[in-house]
Structure formats: structure tokens, C-alpha cells
């Protein structure tokens, strides 16, 4: 294999480059990214938004990593067209990269819902470091911040805004949010933490936003009229960036469709991370939109290019941090037949486990990474568990993994 072009320098693209090199790939690797340099996205709603970390603190790799690994990094420019027939990737600066294989790692963009006034200057989205800079500038002490959407990113921004001294109102018609991901009881407990930390949560929608000077007037759907804010964050989800793939004639269905090896409908093009979506048999699976899933995709794409065995896969995992609480989730609690609690909702650590029969299928833990690590092994190995031992905090979960 002579050379590979990777479009997108998020965790998926950078992981693909790293896995190619660690797998012994000796050809050229070109990594094209629109941003300043490849940086990590999860801190954008946490320590980067709060100002505790700078952009260089969240770089995915040290500056010299690219030279040491012979990865030609072309940042600050975008791929504007992909011509799979010739292997050409055209760039915004008028140049082109020619590659035998192209990996699309274009991620996605934050959604702007069709609310009148949602495009105002004080109405923010959060996907890039520049977005976070613009939002931070508004989150001054005493500022009134409206967070629309109480999912993962909305909740984290609300927490950070509160830490920065803002008055925060968070609006979401679904209450509690995240029930499918973390189970109804933990979702309720997590949502309650907002009120405890002085954030007002409203189970309603936002009908319209209207800017007048430095104030944004938000009309809520609950009939309470207009409410005044200094800044608004729209945290209502993301959409995968598929335009390049679509224009190149690849199969796309709210994500660039790939097989289990990350190969698209064109065998010379692979897709990874938030922009990709697996099609297995006739079925199109849900996208995961989490950091580790994107990282794993990069490893699988590299294996496909190298012709080696794909890295071991397993239950999906993600984390979220808000109000000083670290939450980790493995598997999908939405498929559990029953949910049991280990410990008590309150001071951490505690966790919930989702079961189908006597097998663990998912778990969510507050302040207990060890419980999630153990749950992951229980899930991946399909080990049957005794519920009493599982829910007894005095029983070391590693013992259950050993059987
Ligand atoms: C604010 C925030 C907080 C998050 N927190 C968590 C968390 O706590 N836990 C968790 O598990 N996940 C979290 N996530 C999700 C996680 O960050 C994503 O799943 C992950 O970043 C996806 O990686 P990716 O490489 O697929 O895409 P991205 O990170 O979006 O990277 C895609 C890159 O491609 C570039 N690009 C796009 N199009 C082009 C083009 N045409 N030419 C050149 N470059 C292009 C973009 O500029 C971007 O740099 C968070 C996401 C956000 C936005």
C-alpha cells in the first residue's frame, strides 16, 4: 500500500493514523484537518470552556508526534472534493492529495433547531474550540445563560456555566433526559443535581428567540411568556458531516454507510467516527457519537487497510462530567429487562446494572470507574452473575468477573 489520505483530525482520524503506523504501515499518511491542529473535543464543554485548559493542553498529540510518525499534517484547510476513481482529494487551498485509500473522519456539526431567532449572535452552538471561546466570552459572572437541551453536552455546559458564576436555566421537554442511556432512576438523580447546584430546569420547549441589543428574549412553550438571557447555548444534538461522501457517490443514510471493517460502498474509501454509520446485513445501526467508539473505528480502519485482524471489539463506553461528578456508562441500558442498584443514590460511589436474565448488558456508575470496568468484562465475556452479590457493595466485582 503506497499511501493513505485521512480527512478529519479528530480522535477518529488521528487514531487511524496512529494505528496505521503502530501496525507497521510504511506508506505516506496525509492528515487533512480544518482546525488549527488536531485537538480533543470532550474538554470543550468542561475544562476548556471553564478556562482551566488551553487549546494546546487539549492537543490530541504533541507537536512533534506528526514528524516522528511521518504523518504529513495539513491543518487549517478542508477537503472540498473526493474523486475515488483517481484517488484524489481536492483541498480548499487549491492543492490536491492523491491516495490509494482515503479515510473520511469528518465528524459532524452541532444542530441548529428550526426555532425562530436560533441564528442570533448570542445564540451559540458547541462543536469546535472557536465555538467554546465564543461561548466562554459570554459566560461572565452573573450572566444569565439559557441552555436548550439537557442531554450530555447541555448538562455539562450548564454545570460549567454555573461554576463560572452564571445564572443558568436549562430547558428540555424530556424529563429526566438520558433515561435510555443511564436508566430512569440514575437519570432522575443526575437531573436533580442541577437544581441542587442552583440551576433552574424547565420541562418545556423554546418557541422562539428574539435579540434586542445585548439581551435574548426566549419564549418558552409552557405559556410563561418571554424570559431574558445574556447568552443561549443550543445543545440539541449533532448531524454527521457527509457532504464529501455524498458528492463522491458513496452510500449515505444520516451517516456514511460502512461495513464492520469501516469500508464504505467504495472499497478505496473508509469512514470512521461520528461521520460513519454501520450497515450490517440490510440493517443500518444507530451511530454512537462517543469518543471511544470513534477511537476504535480508527483502529478498525487501519486494520482493514493493513489487511490484519481487527482489534477486539466490545460493549460501547462513554463518560460525562458535571457538578464534580464523574459518570461512566457501558453498554446500553435501554435494552435491559431489569435494572438493579449497587450502593445507594447519594454520595458516590454507586452504580446501576442492566440485566437480561442473569447476564449484565449495561452499567452506569457515579464515581466508580472500577464498577464499569468490571461490568465491561462481564458483558464482553457473557458471564452469568448472582444479583445479590452484584448489588452488595462489600463484594469485590472482580470476583464476579473471575466467576
Ligand atoms: C462539547 C463536546 C463534549 C463531548 N464530551 C464527550 C464526553 O465527555 N465523552 C464522550 O465519550 N464523548 C464526548 N463527546 C463526543 C466525542 O467528542 C465525539 O464522539 C468525537 O469527537 C468524534 O470524533 P471524530 O473524530 O469522529 O469527529 P470530530 O471530533 O468531530 O473530528 C472531525 C474533524 O474533521 C474535521 N473536518 C470535517 N470536515 C472536514 C473536511 N472536509 N476537511 C478537513 N477537515 C474536516 C473537523 O474540523 C474536525 O476536526 C463530546 C463532543 C463534544 C462536541
pLDDT higher than threshold 80 for residue 224: yes
Same fold, 3-109+238-306 and 123-234: yes
| pLDDT > 70 fraction of the chain, expressed in percent and rounded | 100
Average predicted confidence (pLDDT) for the chain: 96
pLDDT one-digit tens code per residue, 149-185? 999 999 999 999 999 999 999 999 999 999 989 999 9
Ligand 1 atom closest to Cα of 44? 1
Q: Whose CA is nearest to atom 13 of ligand 1?
A: 42
What strands lie across the sheet with 325-331, from one edge to the other? 317-322, 325-331, 359-366, 350-356, 338-342
Alpha carbon of 108 to ligand 1 centroid (Å): 7
Mean pLDDT computed over 378-384: 96
Please state whether the peptide bond connecting residue 176 to the residue before it is cis, i.e. omega within 30 degrees of 0.
Answer: yes
Is the separation of the CB atoms in 288 and 335 below 8 Å? no
C-beta 32 within 6 A of ligand 1: yes
C-beta 12 within 6 A of ligand 1: yes
Identify the pLDDT of residue 281: 87
CATH architecture of 123-234: 3-Layer(bba) Sandwich (3.50)
Contacts 24+ apart (CB under 8 A), 280-288: 284/253, 284/255, 284/257, 287/240, 287/254, 287/255, 288/316, 288/318
Ligand 1 atom closest to Cα of 273? 26
| C-alpha grid cell, residue 114 | 428550526
Mean pLDDT computed over 188-209: 97
| C-alpha grid cell, residue 383 | 458471564
pLDDT band, residue 1 (cuts 50/70/90): low
Rounded-to-integer distance, Cα 135 and Cα 80, Å? 28
Q: Whose CA is nearest to atom 20 of ligand 1?
A: 291
Identify the pLDDT of residue 307: 97
Rounded-to-integer distance, Cα 8 and Cα 109, Å? 13
Residue from 8, 81, 83, 151 whose mutation best tests the ligand 1 pocket (most atoms within 8 A of CB): 8
pLDDT band, residue 397 (cuts 50/70/90): very high
Rounded-to-integer distance, Cα 102 and Cα 114, Å? 34
C-beta 269 within 6 A of ligand 1: no
C-beta 273 within 6 A of ligand 1: yes
Q: Whose CA is nearest to atom 47 of ligand 1?
A: 34
CATH architecture of 3-109+238-306: 3-Layer(bba) Sandwich (3.50)
Identify the pLDDT of residue 402: 85
Candidates 264, 261, 208; CA nearest to 240 is 264
pLDDT higher than threshold 80 for residue 99: yes
Q: Whose CA is nearest to atom 7 of ligand 1?
A: 42
Alpha carbon of 298 to ligand 1 centroid (Å): 13
Tell me how far apart the terminal alpha carbons of the chain are, to the nearest angstrom. 45
| C-alpha grid cell, residue 2 | 503506497
pLDDT higher than threshold 80 for residue 302: yes
C-beta 274 within 6 A of ligand 1: yes
Mean pLDDT computed over 322-346: 95
Identify the pLDDT of residue 288: 87
C-beta 105 within 6 A of ligand 1: yes
Mean pLDDT computed over 119-128: 98
Rounded-to-integer distance, Cα 320 and Cα 50, Å? 15
pLDDT higher than threshold 70 for residue 120: yes
pLDDT band, residue 140 (cuts 50/70/90): very high
Residue from 41, 233, 246, 277 whose mutation best tests the ligand 1 pocket (most atoms within 8 A of CB): 41
Contacts 24+ apart (CB under 8 A), 153-156: 153/45, 153/126, 153/235, 154/233, 154/235, 154/236, 155/190, 155/194, 155/320, 155/322, 156/45, 156/46, 156/320, 156/321, 156/322
CATH architecture of 324-402: 2-Layer Sandwich (3.30)
- Per the DSSP assignment, residues forming a β-bridge with 239 are 109
Ligand 1 atom closest to Cα of 41? 17
Q: Whose CA is nearest to atom 26 of ligand 1?
A: 273
Rounded-to-integer distance, Cα 390 and Cα 378, Å? 11
pLDDT band, residue 347 (cuts 50/70/90): confident
Rounded-to-integer distance, Cα 365 and Cα 348, Å? 9
CA–centroid distance for 42 within its chain:
7
C-beta 149 within 6 A of ligand 1: no
Can you give the residue ranges of every domain in the chain?
3-109+238-306, 123-234, 324-402
pLDDT one-digit tens code per residue, 261-282? 999 999 999 999 999 999 998 8
Rounded-to-integer distance, Cα 246 and Cα 248, Å? 5
| C-alpha grid cell, residue 315 | 460493549
C-beta 33 within 6 A of ligand 1: yes
Mean pLDDT computed over 35-53: 98
Amino acid at each position: 500500500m503506497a499511501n493513505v489520505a485521512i480527512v478529519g483530525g479528530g480522535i477518529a482520524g488521528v487514531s487511524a493514523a496512529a494505528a496505521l503506523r503502530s501496525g507497521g504501515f510504511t506508506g505516506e499518511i496525509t492528515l487533512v484537518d480544518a482546525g488549527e491542529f488536531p485537538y480533543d473535543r470532550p474538554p470543550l464543554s468542561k475544562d476548556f470552556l471553564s478556562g482551566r485548559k488551553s487549546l494546546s493542553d487539549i492537543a490530541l498529540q504533541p507537536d512533534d508526534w506528526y514528524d516522528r510518525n511521518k504523518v504529513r499534517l495539513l491543518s487549517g484547510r478542508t477537503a472540498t472534493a473526493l474523486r475515488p476513481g483517481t484517488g484524489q482529494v481536492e483541498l480548499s487551498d487549491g492543492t490536491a492529495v492523491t491516495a490509494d485509500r482515503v479515510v473520511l473522519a469528518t465528524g459532524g456539526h452541532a444542530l441548529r433547531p428550526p426555532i425562530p431567532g436560533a441564528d442570533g449572535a448570542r445564540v451559540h452552538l458547541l462543536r469546535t474550540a472557536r465555538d467554546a471561546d465564543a461561548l466562554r466570552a459570554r459566560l461572565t459572572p452573573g450572566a444569565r445563560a439559557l441552555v436548550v437541551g439537557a442531554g450530555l453536552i447541555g448538562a455539562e455546559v450548564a454545570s460549567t456555566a454555573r461554576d463560572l458564576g452564571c445564572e443558568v436555566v436549562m430547558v428540555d421537554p424530556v424529563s429526566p433526559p438520558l433515561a435510555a442511556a443511564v436508566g430512569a432512576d440514575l437519570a432522575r438523580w443526575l437531573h436533580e443535581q442541577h437544581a441542587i447546584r442552583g440551576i433552574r430546569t424547565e420541562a418545556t420547549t423554546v418557541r422562539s428567540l428574539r435579540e434586542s441589543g445585548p439581551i435574548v428574549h426566549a419564549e418558552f412553550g409552557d405559556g410563561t411568556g418571554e424570559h431574558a438571557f445574556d447568552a443561549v447555548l443550543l445543545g440539541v444534538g449533532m448531524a454527521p458531516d457527509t457532504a464529501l461522501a455524498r458528492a463522491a457517490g458513496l452510500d449515505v443514510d444520516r451517516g456514511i454507510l460502512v461495513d464492520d471493517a469501516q469500508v464504505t460502498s467504495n472499497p478505496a474509501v473508509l469512514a470512521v467516527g461520528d461521520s460513519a454509520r454501520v450497515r450490517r446485513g440490510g440493517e443500518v445501526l444507530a451511530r454512537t457519537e462517543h469518543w471511544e467508539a470513534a477511537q476504535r473505528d480508527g483502529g478498525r480502519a487501519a486494520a482493514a487497510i493493513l489487511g490484519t485482524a481487527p482489534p477486539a471489539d466490545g460493549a460501547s463506553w462513554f463518560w460525562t462530567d458535571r457538578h464534580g461528578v464523574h459518570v461512566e456508562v457501558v453498554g446500553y441500558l435501554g435494552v435491559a429487562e431489569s435494572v438493579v442498584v449497587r450502593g445507594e443514590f447519594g454520595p458516590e460511589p454507586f452504580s446501576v446494572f442492566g440485566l437480561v436474565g442473569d447476564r449484565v448488558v449495561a452499567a452506569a456508575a457515579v464515581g466508580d470507574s472500577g464498577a464499569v470496568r468490571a461490568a465491561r468484562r462481564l458483558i464482553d465475556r457473557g458471564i452469568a452473575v448472582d444479583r445479590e452479590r452484584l448489588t452488595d457493595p462489600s463484594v469485590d466485582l472482580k470476583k464476579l468477573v473471575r466467576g
